[in-house]
Structure 1
Amino acid sequence: MSAAAVEETTQPCPECGKEIRGDSRFTLWCAACDWNVDPGEPQPDTGRLDRAERALARRHGEQVLAEMLGGRDVHPRRDAPAMTATALALTVHAGTLAFAVGGVWCLAAGRGAAGLVAGLVLLVLAWAFAPRVRGLPKDRPVLLRGAAPELFALVDEVARAVGTRGVHAIAVDGSVNAAVTTYGVRGRRLLVLGMPLWEVLTPEERIALLGHELAHYANGDTRNGLVVSTAARTLHLWHHILQPLPTSSGMEIFVNAIYVVPRLLVGGVLVLLARLSSRAGIRAEYLADRLAARTASTQAAVGLMDRLLIAGSLGRRLRTEANRAALRGPGSARKATAHADDLWAVLTAYASSIPEHEYERQRRVGARRGHQVDTTHPPTHLRRAGLLAQVHETATVTPQARRTRLIAAELAPARTEVARDLLRGNLDD
């Protein structure tokens, strides 16, 4: 599994005639006139709600960045729409509680078989839609302090730099991403590190990544809070249940007709919840980027943004390696997974070989399309521009060579397990 060699090519631009020099592994384009800068790669159809949330993030991304750069900053916790979102989420939870109370009343009222059935149905619905307390993930490696003291020491140092405390556990998966969340009834903190992203970052960019994620605990991102996030889960579950049935019989047509109004109502509440919490969430992302720059330096935070722009390319490379392992047959697949760490060498070599003109193309395409990490993030090119518009920061937390080596050793078992999973085709989106 070796990284593809650089394949330099030269040709005149069909539009302006300027000479184009590039790597034929990537899209050839003209920096002078933007010919072929965005060849129009098809985008997956992610659904109406997902498209609405992305559109909100793009619009609010521009508005909030302009406000922050203009000095009109409002903390997410004092944002009126965010407070309204919390009130709406509590209303959703009140509806779930009403199911539970109604179910208990039907059973206690003793109204025969009909009351018994109605009570049981209401209690089942209340149980299905009740807020869930997450536990530690069981489908990926999880590290606790005793198993990774140096990694947790780095996380603690970064946490102090951004004004918060560290985490209780670190999960490692195969996504080209990272995140923070909570688990357990006591709301313990969990950091999720996507190993493909971690591997291609420099030590300075890793500190920027940790700074950004840990800053969310201090910034009060409403959408990641327990109240709003669980309400959104309840609404998404309702929306899924109310999807139209295949219309092959009169009864299904009748049920679909009944579903129309509730489905539109639930979809409308979901969009409203996203609209109310979007601005505060977008602001929290920009604030997290700012704290990441103060922690690791502006240069490292901007470098992290560039790596996020090539997340799609890294995902495609991982799929290519998984397909190659599958084509070699079962015996070869077992041999490949025995040397799973080779995957990281291939991925890092590939990332290092991506030329600057491809990064620049991705920046221009991102500005055209509004590239986003997901529906909760503002467009990446705006995040990058926001970092560059601020006073350039120097690092308050710097990598240490010895610690970097020790952290690599602590992550070794997890990175091998994740690599084996990726080679089996289990790719995290």
Structure 2
Amino acid sequence: MEQSVQPCPECGAEIRTDPRFTIWCAACDWNVDPGKPEEEPGRLERLRRQLARRHGERLFAEVAAGGAPPSRRDAAGFLAYGIALAVHSVTLALLIAGILLVVLGWGGPLPVVGVFFLMTTWFLRPRLGRLPADEPVLYRDAAPQLFALIDEVAAVAGTKGVHAIIVTPAVNASVTTYGIRGRRLLKLGLGLWEITGPQQRIALLGHELGHYANGDLRHGPVIANALRSLKMWLYLMEPIRNPTPLEMILNVGYFLPRCAVLGLMMALDQLTLRATQRAEYLADSLAARAGSTEAAVGLMERLLVAHSAESTLLREANAGQVVRGKRAARTEAWRGLWERLAAHMDSIPESEHERQRRLGAQRGHSVDSTHPPTHLRRASLLAGAPVPAAVHLEAGWQAAIATELAASRERLARLALQL
């Protein structure tokens, strides 16, 4: 893409511009962050961000210096589990009380109260992950080479592989569990997989599988469901707007219990936020161990500009709508989508990567308080000695995996273009 040159309106320095991206000045940081001011966050989110800022730089320095990995057995972890179990005990007490009131309270109004308790318990109940009913699921027999790669990366991370894979169009990837037995599920975003190189893909798998290896408190079923229950309590006790006199009394009655629930949520946040961010750093170190430091840093570079991939997919979808009336063009529009996306990402100039790094430094933890900023994760990888790859994705292996994902690539390309 041809670039033009113009002076910075702030300091007069020369700026080389690419019309596809934000114009900014590397000399004085003019227009590094042209985004609109975000909406004012709620009280809980403000607290999260304050805690993230307070611990972020200190945690980065500790991890960069080779700090110890997170543990679920430290004092904060034990206290977080204690609070979570107390939350679940309230749900259990409501369940028992509801059953007793329904069974033993006939002849009066108590069964009605019991039914209300049971309905509340159903609303607050812990949820187990489930496989989506509307998305194809890949199992080992359908993608043996991809599962073999995941198994090899998992061995490097010191954990086990996954039981199922869902391929999505997202520019992202994640892991979770499903079912009573806690089976493992990898959600593999093709939008991210297709814009990364072979070793970067190994680093991506190493990072995601690292979450299973490092015992991330916030994503464990006990604490995650406790946080969900507390959010449901807040929803149930949400103050009624423009209340009638009776509703005003109800709002007043809910005030202290709502403050108690909010306090518990804040306590769980404070006890788990640092460990959750630290778990991300540890997962990054496992990504480097599996795919190499160079590959893990390259993955961070892709994540810095991931929004550009999302914008490209949106533009492709809009273009697909334009040719919707032309049958032949519509039929073939999906072909080459992922290759065009990868080519676009490869063409992003270094100046845009640098702008995103400076933007991350300015915003800090204000965008996502549960993750360290990407620029700090990248810097932590570069702070230590480079690590060679433990797993190498050879050309034959790449081709076999590409064949296994071919049907998903076509299906998701058609879905992305709404064909």
TM class, shorter-length: over 0.9
- 1:352 Cα offset (Å): 1.3
Q: Map 1:407-426; keep pairs closer than 5 Å.
A: 407-424=401-418
**The 10-residue stretch of structure 1 (313-322 or 163-172) with the greater mean CA deviation from structure 2:** 313-322
Partner of residue 390, structure 2: 396
CA offset digits 1:243-266 (Å, max 9, x no partner): 333426444444434333333332
Partner of residue 347, structure 1: 341
Partner of residue 115, structure 1: 110
- TM-score normalised by length of structure 2: 0.92
Q: Map 1:211-250; keep pairs closer than 5 Å.
A: 211-247=206-242, 249-250=244-245
Q: 1:53 aligns with which of 36, 48, 51?
A: 48
Partner of residue 278, structure 1: 273
Q: 2:38 aligned with 1:43, yes or no?
A: yes
Q: Distance in 1 between matches of 2:257 and 2:326?
A: 52
Q: Are the equivalent residues in 1 in contact too, given 2:129–2:176 (CA < 8 A)?
A: no
Q: Are the equivalent residues in 2 in contact too, given 1:58–1:379 (CA < 8 A)?
A: no
**The 10-residue stretch of structure 1 (9-18 or 207-216) with the greater mean CA deviation from structure 2:** 9-18
CA offset digits 1:189-217 (Å, max 9, x no partner): 11111111111111111110000110111
Q: Are the equivalent residues in 2 in contact too, given 1:314–1:351 (CA < 8 A)?
A: yes
- 1:74 Cα offset (Å): 4.9
Q: Distance in 1 between matches of 2:141 and 2:190?
A: 20
Q: Which runs of 5+ in 2 are unaligned?
A: none
Q: Which runs of 5+ in 1 are unaligned?
A: 1-5
**Other structure's SS at 1:376 match:** coil
Q: 1:175 aligns with which of 157, 162, 170?
A: 170
CA offset digits 1:115-143 (Å, max 9, x no partner): 11011111111122111222212233321
Partner of residue 298, structure 1: 293
**Other structure's SS at 1:112 match:** coil
Letter in 2 for 1:227: V
CA offset digits 1:161-194 (Å, max 9, x no partner): 1111111011122322111111111111111111
Q: Distance in 2 between matches of 1:300 and 1:24?
A: 29
Q: Are the equivalent residues in 1 in contact too, given 2:288–2:296 (CA < 8 A)?
A: yes
Q: Distance in 1 between matches of 2:353 and 2:66?
A: 30
Partner of residue 358, structure 2: 364
Partner of residue 20, structure 2: 25
**The 10-residue stretch of structure 1 (225-234 or 66-75) with the greater mean CA deviation from structure 2:** 66-75
Letter in 1 for 2:181: R
Q: 1:263 aligns with which of 226, 238, 258?
A: 258
Q: Distance in 2 between matches of 1:298 and 1:345?
A: 26
Q: 2:116 aligned with 1:87, yes or no?
A: no
Q: Distance in 1 between matches of 2:313 and 2:262?
A: 35
Q: Distance in 1 between matches of 2:284 and 2:13?
A: 37
Partner of residue 3, structure 1: none
**Other structure's SS at 1:15 match:** coil
**Other structure's SS at 1:77 match:** coil
Q: Distance in 2 between matches of 1:141 and 1:44?
A: 37
Partner of residue 13, structure 1: 8
Q: Are the equivalent residues in 2 in contact too, given 1:13–1:30 (CA < 8 A)?
A: yes
Letter in 2 for 1:398: H
Equivalenced residue count is 419
**The 10-residue stretch of structure 1 (404-413 or 63-72) with the greater mean CA deviation from structure 2:** 63-72
Q: Map 1:185-204; keep pairs closer than 5 Å.
A: 185-204=180-199
Partner of residue 311, structure 2: 316
Q: Distance in 1 between matches of 2:335 and 2:368?
A: 28
Q: Identity of counterpart residues, as a percentage? A: 53
Q: Are the equivalent residues in 2 in contact too, given 1:244–1:256 (CA < 8 A)?
A: yes
Q: Distance in 1 between matches of 2:293 and 2:285?
A: 8
Q: Are the equivalent residues in 2 in contact too, given 1:293–1:299 (CA < 8 A)?
A: yes
Q: 2:158 aligned with 1:158, yes or no?
A: no
Q: Are the equivalent residues in 1 in contact too, given 2:53–2:365 (CA < 8 A)?
A: no
CA offset digits 1:220-251 (Å, max 9, x no partner): 11111111111111112222233333426444
Q: Are the equivalent residues in 1 in contact too, given 2:320–2:333 (CA < 8 A)?
A: no
**Other structure's SS at 2:405 match:** helix
Q: 2:61 aligned with 1:62, yes or no?
A: no
Q: 2:371 aligned with 1:381, yes or no?
A: no
- TM-score normalised by length of structure 1: 0.90
**The 10-residue stretch of structure 1 (246-255 or 405-414) with the greater mean CA deviation from structure 2:** 246-255
Letter in 1 for 2:392: T
